[in-house]
Structure 1
């Protein structure tokens, strides 16, 4: 049945182990594998159990709830909502936090569940997503959190590149190290985890510029696609084709390339920008914008190119005549496409 996303188990396992090895070689012993792209699909459990992973992370507590059978750490990556505090304590071993009211609520719930809950306090080093701003007076915040009996500050962390596109470098990461030193010296405590970001920090591997205090990264795309995310470059020694996507042709006809009449906005409120190429062979596939951003698909056959589409249709131009109705077209995908396709109930998932 189609549409279908194919996940190569062996290549994914190889990437996991190789990234863990690369991280250790760069003096980062602690890696959390970010699994949010799988949308809680429980097929990932057997893959993780086949590796030496010690930690997984997801942005949604609903997904971590499905992974309770895994005998490894489960980290909630998105700072918690007040409305989900009970489930955070129940299903997450550790969570990322930046708001005192939420941490206080976590403390109360942890007490009710007779648990000590670990947290990473997030610091914004300039990318301007979540976290206490690094130039702010954050020590009073830390003091209040340290007074909470059922909360343990396991460490501190930051997120880079995802919103503001801030590239990690020695200067940026040393801001986190300075925060670490200020907290440890100010309160006579030891922070176990200094989390230096995500797959964008992998670009610093093998350059001897990652501060030695950074001992943890939260990695998704570098494992899944074998790419660092600062410059979107492929990492040597990793698989870059763990995922393939397939969709079925439902129409194959020779038609004009340009609409015949007055053009207005399309179904997504956009004015189509369509090139007049004369008569062309057009393929319609049974996949659409409801399932994926079409521009994030790349046909493996170089004779095919994406023209556009609508909610439920993808339209391709074919420069040869080998395709017919019922044929399957295979695509390479990127990380955003994986996230969308795995979240679509209309796309079949095949772990091979």
Structure 2
């Protein structure tokens, strides 16, 4: 008897995931760049993490120590990519081979933890090049912090420096920004009297410079997650059309229609606030057919970036447990029980892979 499927269901094509990892790492390696495969967006689900490793990633990275512990046995160096809280340095030393750092007091705490545990730990000092997230803004302070690690913290190893762009401030990684990082790396190297192991040029958004063969040679490390898992940002946010070697169909979200009928497109009554405190706006397009699917914000955060696989379907909005779609122009006459498929964005993937009521199924 065939097993009855439950929805919502997230399908992951492991073959496509491994191929994406291989395509990214091969191109990076050809340009002298190592890749930390970032798996925080999939909540370190084991079958997917294994494909990052098989696809050629040099390190495995996450922002959560609990996730690092889950794949420590895979044999690749591990990297914590959220600058750590001072309260968690014992776990940082125990579970991570590398960590990003941006505070001198935390570095001193890492040294003390290393001494207690009888271990050494490698650090990458972060430079803020304008995105206004983590990192030293005063570059001379970063150089002095590097000297402090090199000369005064015997258990902490200065592996290199790095930056983050395109996250909080949405600053575009450009050749000029990478050259700024390269110049800073050279200043640090002059100060400490040796070459750095790592000059980390950022995350997925920086990979476009590799794709276009524009990355300065001094940059020898990237932290890539979304570009391997989804390739959503390149194609749908950046408008990149010549990156066909990466698949944006690693994931397929399958959802079930729970209601489909014609209703007014503009709410009837006094508009106040929605269930999440928002004040939405609406366009009056008359009476139109709309479908409700059994998945909502509790499952995937904001669903606004869902991309329907069928023509004639557009996103209208969502609530805790339902998502509302305009299907007036959908050729298929949808009804309750029908299944709709979507491509997803990074934020939706991060929620879906952690959601208790979403079934994750692996294929390929």
Q: In the TM superposition, what are the counterparts of 1:1-352 in structure 2 within 5 Å?
A: 1-28=6-33, 30-146=34-150, 147-205=152-210, 207-226=212-231, 231=238, 233=240, 235-292=243-300, 293-319=302-328, 320=331, 322-352=333-363
The normalised TM-score by structure 2 is 0.91
Q: Map Cα deviations across residues 14-72 of structure 1 (whole Å, 9 max, x no partner).
A: 001111111123332x1111111111322224323433322111011111111121110
CA distance in 2, matches of 1:272, 1:213: 47
**Residues 207 and 261 (structure 1), Cα distance of their counterparts in 2 relative to 1, 3 Å cut:** closer
CA apart distance, 1:335:
1.6
Q: Secondary structure at the match of 1:137?
A: helix
CA apart distance, 1:315:
1.1
The separation in 2 between residues aligned to 1:170 and 1:303, in whole angstroms, is 40
Q: 1:125 to 1:258 in 2, by over 3 A?
A: closer
Q: In structure 2, do the counterparts of structure 1 residues 256 and 63 end up closer, same or farther at CA, with 3 Å as the change threshold?
A: same
Distance 1:14 1:227 in 2: 16
Q: Distance in 1 between matches of 2:230 and 2:220?
A: 22
| Mapped partners of 1:300, 1:154: distance in 2 | 44
With 50-59 and 210-219 compared, the bigger mean Cα shift is at 50-59
1:206 shift after superposition: 5.3
Instruction: Assess if the C-alpha contact under 8 Å between 2:201 and 2:220 holds in 1.
Output: yes
Structure 1: how far apart are the matches of 2:76 and 2:184? 28
Structure-1 separation of matches of 2:138 and 2:248: 35
User: Gaps spanning 5+ residues in structure 1: where?
Assistant: none
Q: Return the alpha-carbon distance in structure 1 between the equivalents of residues 334 and 354 of structure 2.
A: 29
| Separation of aligned partners in 2, 1:257 and 1:197 | 43
Contact 2:39–2:49, Cα closer than 8 Å, also in 1: no
Checking the alignment, whether the CA contact within 8 Å between 1:12 and 1:223 is kept in structure 2 is yes
How much is the aligned-residue C-alpha RMSD, in angstroms?
A: 1.9
Report the TM-score when normalising by structure 1.
Answer: 0.94
Deviation readout 1:109-138 (Å, 9 max, x if unpaired):
111111110111111112211111254433
> Separation in 2 of the partners of 1:17 and 1:134?
37
1:40–1:62 Cα contact (<8 Å) kept: no
Worse-superposed segment, 112-121 or 286-295: 286-295
Distance, in Å, in 1 between the alignment partners of 2:314 and 2:143 is 55
Task: Decide whether aligned partners of structure 1 residues 82 and 195 sit closer, same or farther in structure 2, where only a CA change above 3 A counts.
Answer: same
Unaligned runs of 5+ in 2: 1-5
